[in-house]
Amino acid sequence: MGNDYEDECRRSLAEEQAKSLATSNNWEHVDRERVHQDWDVLYREITAHLDNGSLPGDQQVQGLVRRHFDIACRFYTPSRQAYVGMSLFYAEDEAMRAFHNSYHPQMVDFLGAAIKVFAEQGSGFAPDAGAGASA
């Protein structure tokens, strides 16, 4: 994945989140406590797969990433690029990296790789706002 594509993903995430926040009164429709509970359960399941040597592209892991995507969609439905941008945010933001890696020291890297596979193969994304970009 090249730097141009990663930059596009970061931009997509920022633009799509800003638009969603503005049109939803800062995501007031989201039950944040429930979202955090669901992500906690999910991250614990992903940790078990990490400990068992699963790979990001494994079918069971991709099923878990589908659940991650579905939880993220409670806020808004991201494009493929914005979803990859979310994985970059997890890796690049110190607090997000620390939070995710508190479940497992390799969580951010593993989840990021799994999200990239999902973005290439999964479905349910919002249309890409950019001109002809693809995951």
- The answer to whether residue 134 scores a pLDDT higher than 60 is no
pLDDT at 58 over 90: yes
pLDDT per position as a tens digit, 18-42: 999 998 988 889 899 999 999 999 9
State both tokens at 132.
């002809």
- Asked whether the beta carbons of 64 and 42 are under 8 A apart, the reply is yes
Q: What is the pTM of this model?
A: 0.88
Integer Cα distance of 92 and 89 in angstroms:
5
pLDDT of residue 1: 54
Residue range 93-113, pLDDT digits in tens: 999 999 999 999 999 999 999
The span from the CA of 27 to the CA of 57, in Å, is: 31
- Mean pLDDT score of the chain: 91
Q: How confident is the model at residue 123 (pLDDT cuts 50, 70, 90)?
A: confident
